[in-house]
Structure 1
Amino acid sequence: MQSEWLKDLICFFEDLFNEYGMNPVLAQYLNLLINLVLITLLLYGVNWLIKNVIIETFKAFTNKTKTTFDDFLIKSNFPRYIGRIIPLLIVFELYPLLFSDFPKVLLVFEKILNIYLIILAVWIIRSMIRTSRDYLKTREGFNDKPIESFSQIIIIFLWVIGFMFIFAELFNRSVLGFAISLGAASAVILLIFKDTILGLVASIQVSVNDIVRIGDWITFEKYGADGTVTEINLATVRVQNWDNTFTTIPTYSLIADSFQNWRGMQESPGRRIRRSVYIKQNSVRFLTREDLDKMAKISLIAPYLQHRQEEIDKYNAKNKVDKSLLINGRNQTNLGVFRKYIDSYLHEHSAIHKEMYIIVRHQAPTAQGIPLEILCFSRDKRWENFEYISADIFDHILAAIPYFELQIFESPSGDDIRNLMDSLNNNQSL
């Protein structure tokens, strides 16, 4: 009954023109033209009403709610896409009657409407995905997760499914049949979308294996990246370097190449300090009684020197060691005492974490001297404070070395060579 009423309304102008004796074919085309204009105006009016009343009302409602999810719905144009359903339903109701006398045009218009319906469905679902993505980014438990990559993966699959339905509609085939045909061309598809597929696989592995999170400090020498990860998406990882420049890294490089992630350091109680000073080998010697008396004035090692020397004297006396020659028996060395001094200094330093490793050792001698390595952990892990603490410690160590009659190795400079030549020339002249 309703369809008959609509059909009479659509044919109103055609019947009117026929009553006035107009050519039936011309009356039919004029009727179609007038109806198209009227329906277009109707759709424009409905769209204006939805945009200026319904959507604006929804925006006003979201501004009064406490949750931010509906705000992200507005941002992703979700209400606008939903609003397009009403004009589409009107067209679906009217077009069979409007083109009933034009079967070929009706078939084409039906395909166009079906394709638009598929695209609109994809837009609506994509809007929900983007809304969920933006909302989850504001949640504390998800702010370091690669939500961007997951949303891009889902949207890509969504568009793939959408295009499958569109092509199936265009070529009058079932979606399953089209998917089977698509599988036959998979080799070509893999070649064309190689980078996208690599990024997809990498994004999944990065997330599942928790390789990188947003906020991690990473160092990737191959790409010149050294800073904080600000974004992880399907194709690239964005890193803000310490000089405030940005570096983009292909996502698949995170699983294909080696890089350094400092998250373990950031999560640990302290940050490691590991550095060496090189001691000249010929400055290392045994300590005499006079040397020990002099070094006993250094408060950090005074108790150690006394206790250690008592043990050594007891051993030498028990074994009747001839101490007329210093090398006999047991002795203390200036390098050994200096190592103990550094160890005591680090244990007393307020910025050093006492519950983590504190090691002072010398390694195998090299052509540049004996590497005296200091390994400890600072309590403060912030970069600028860490560098200040490290510099403060080694300033003190370098300044303390002469008190133990040790020397630091340095390669000869131009001034050293010039002074040596001048000295030789002066000796020859004499």
Structure 2
Amino acid sequence: MQQIQSFIYDYALNAGFSENAAKLLNTFALMLGLLIIIVISDYITRKFLLNIFSKFASRSKTNFDDLLVDHKAPRNIAHIVPLLITLQLFPFVFYHYPELEENIIILIRVYGVLLTVWIIRSILKTFESYFKTLPRLKDKPIDSYIQVAMLFIWVIGAASIFAVVINLSFIEFFTTLGAASAVLLLIFKDTILGFVASIQVAINDSVRIGDWITMDKYGADGDVIEINLSTVQVQNFDKTITHIPTYALISDSFKNWRGMESSGGRRIKRAILLKAKSVQYLTEAHISELKNIQLITAYLESRQQDINTYNTNNNIDKSTLINGRNLTNLGVFRKYIQSYIENHSAINKDMTIMVRQLAPTPQGIPLEIYAFSSDKRWANYEYIMSDIFDHALAAVPYFKLELFEIPTTFTTEILNTD
């Protein structure tokens, strides 16, 4: 071993080189030999591990081992062998320069810490990808947990490198670091808040990836595409991306539409405004005319019979319509819209269906349609709702009702004043 170690040195001295030159030449040759050994050992180890993992992955039922290969975990683990060889052989290479030994040890240790961090990172990334393939975890904020783990790993790694460089023991360094914990808490305040928020979001199941949320404060109205440690990414319906701080999900209010999407329908709640002065009692002639509308024929015949019986039994003078019981055009119209909604093919019949009259306003009498469409997709929902109101608006004149509109002359006056 000694002969191999000093072979180039002895040869250089015999060739007439100075002692210092012979030492440099010998060290360079030994270093070149070490590099060749490192490259060969790294190549062999990497090929060996990759072959083993590939064969195991092809036979395994789970895709976890495939993900390990995809995230280069075997490749990173293979670097451990050259590192161990270097630790064993570097005193042999630099025996002419023992004063460099301490500095080289520091460099090798720093590399060892970085390699360890990188191996752990590969494994954590593998777990992240694997958990996302599990149906029960697919909509959970896995990214947040992995980022927290990586944050701690990098903090520990950086602290370890610093401890190695200043030649301080790991325990002594972290004991000293404890005194600066208040400063660290201040520096990592947003990270800690985001971590706590992501845990609460996961435990309370308030937001999942894929949920449609609305948060006016941040201009968000779309689907959650990512939940990580610091932000929640929402792809709005105009394809823009909104970034919301994760902790805002527990400190601010937002609307999650998951309940609607998991229910049997999507709510339709909209009113049309009718002129109050167009509301009137129905005459016999108008009732006869409205009986031609098939959806309310049976209703009109039944109601008219009940009303006539009541008025006759109570000797009501019907020469004036206001006396006794009467049908109104608004009431019959309301019944017609109710029947139309109940017979509409796109409305969920198992959920609430209601047509109601709201309190009169300066703009008229609101007649509100309250129902749920069976199809919850946004475009289809809008089409269904438009179809219903197209019909309702077109039906208004048949009942001698009028829609409220701002008079054209009034609008013109406003524009002229502006």
> Offset of 1:67 from its aligned partner?
4.4
> Offset of 1:55 from its aligned partner?
5.9
Q: Does 1:248 align with 2:243?
A: yes
Q: Distance in 2 between matches of 1:182 and 1:306?
A: 88
- Corresponding residue of 2:356: 361
> Offset of 1:15 from its aligned partner?
5.3
Supply the AA of the counterpart residue of 2:286.
Answer: D
Q: Distance in 1 between matches of 2:280 and 2:56?
A: 80
Question: Does the 8 Å CA contact 2:358/2:366 hold for their aligned counterparts?
Answer: yes
Q: How does 1:339-358 map to 2 (within 5 A)?
A: 339-358=334-353
Can you list the C-alpha shifts for 1:282-327, whole angstroms capped at 9, x where unaligned?
Answer: 1111222222222222111121122222332333333333333322
**Which of 289, 299, 323 is matched with 1:328 structurally?**
323
Distance 1:416 1:263, change over 3 A: closer
Supply the AA of the counterpart residue of 1:142.
Answer: L
Percent identity over the alignment is: 50
Q: How does 1:48-67 map to 2 (within 5 A)?
A: 48-51=43-46, 53-54=47-48, 57=51, 61=55, 64-65=58-59, 67=62
1:141 counterpart SS class: helix
**Which of 26, 33, 36 is matched with 1:41 structurally?**
36
Q: Distance in 2 between matches of 1:111 and 1:231?
A: 40
> Offset of 1:207 from its aligned partner?
1.8
> Offset of 1:16 from its aligned partner?
5.3
Q: Distance in 2 between matches of 1:274 and 1:399?
A: 19
Question: Does the 8 Å CA contact 2:54/2:66 hold for their aligned counterparts?
Answer: no
> Offset of 1:183 from its aligned partner?
2.7
Q: How does 1:116-155 map to 2 (within 5 A)?
A: 116-155=111-150
Can you list the C-alpha shifts for 1:333-370, whole angstroms capped at 9, x where unaligned?
Answer: 11111111111111111110011001111111111001
**Which of 299, 302, 316 is matched with 2:311 structurally?**
316
Q: Which moved more, 1:379-388 or 1:99-108?
A: 99-108
> Offset of 1:62 from its aligned partner?
6.9
- Corresponding residue of 1:427: none
- Corresponding residue of 2:264: 269
Q: Does 1:292 align with 2:287?
A: yes
- Corresponding residue of 1:425: none
Q: Distance in 1 between matches of 2:308 and 2:356?
A: 25
Q: Distance in 2 between matches of 1:320 and 1:181?
A: 101
Supply the AA of the counterpart residue of 1:57.
Answer: N
Question: Does the 8 Å CA contact 2:227/2:233 hold for their aligned counterparts?
Answer: yes
- Corresponding residue of 1:71: 66
Q: Does 1:212 align with 2:219?
A: no
Q: Distance in 1 between matches of 2:284 and 2:366?
A: 27
Can you list the C-alpha shifts for 1:381-424, whole angstroms capped at 9, x where unaligned?
Answer: 11111111101111110011111111110011259869xxxxxx
- Corresponding residue of 2:416: none
1:219 counterpart SS class: strand
Question: Does the 8 Å CA contact 2:139/2:210 hold for their aligned counterparts?
Answer: yes
Q: Does 1:189 align with 2:184?
A: yes
Distance 1:181 1:413, change over 3 A: farther
Supply the AA of the counterpart residue of 2:182.
Answer: A
Distance 1:416 1:92, change over 3 A: closer
Can you list the C-alpha shifts for 1:254-281, whole angstroms capped at 9, x where unaligned?
Answer: 2232222111111101110110100100
1:339 counterpart SS class: helix
> Offset of 1:24 from its aligned partner?
5.5
Q: Does 1:88 align with 2:83?
A: yes
2:26 counterpart SS class: helix
Supply the AA of the counterpart residue of 1:44.
Answer: V
Q: How does 1:1-40 map to 2 (within 5 A)?
A: 5=1, 9-14=4-9, 27-40=22-35
Q: Distance in 1 between matches of 2:174 and 2:406?
A: 72
> Offset of 1:40 from its aligned partner?
1.6
2:372 counterpart SS class: strand
Q: Which moved more, 1:264-273 or 1:132-141?
A: 132-141
Q: Which moved more, 1:35-44 or 1:319-328?
A: 319-328
Question: Does the 8 Å CA contact 2:132/2:142 hold for their aligned counterparts?
Answer: yes
Q: Does 1:375 align with 2:370?
A: yes
Q: Distance in 1 between matches of 2:53 and 2:168?
A: 42
TM-score by length of 1: 0.87
Q: Does 1:280 align with 2:270?
A: no
2:137 counterpart SS class: coil
- Corresponding residue of 1:421: none
RMSD between superposed Cα atoms in Å: 2.6
Distance 1:356 1:294, change over 3 A: same
Supply the AA of the counterpart residue of 1:359.
Answer: M
Supply the AA of the counterpart residue of 2:299.
Answer: Y
> Offset of 1:23 from its aligned partner?
6.0
Q: Which moved more, 1:96-105 or 1:221-230?
A: 96-105
Q: Distance in 2 between matches of 1:128 and 1:224?
A: 37
Q: Distance in 1 between matches of 2:74 and 2:297?
A: 79
**Which of 390, 398, 402 is matched with 1:403 structurally?**
398
1:328 counterpart SS class: coil
> Offset of 1:21 from its aligned partner?
8.5
Q: What are the ranges of 5 or more consecutive residues in structure 1 without an aligned counterpart?
A: 419-430
The size of the alignment, in residue pairs, is 412
Q: What are the ranges of 5 or more consecutive residues in structure 2 without an aligned counterpart?
A: 414-418
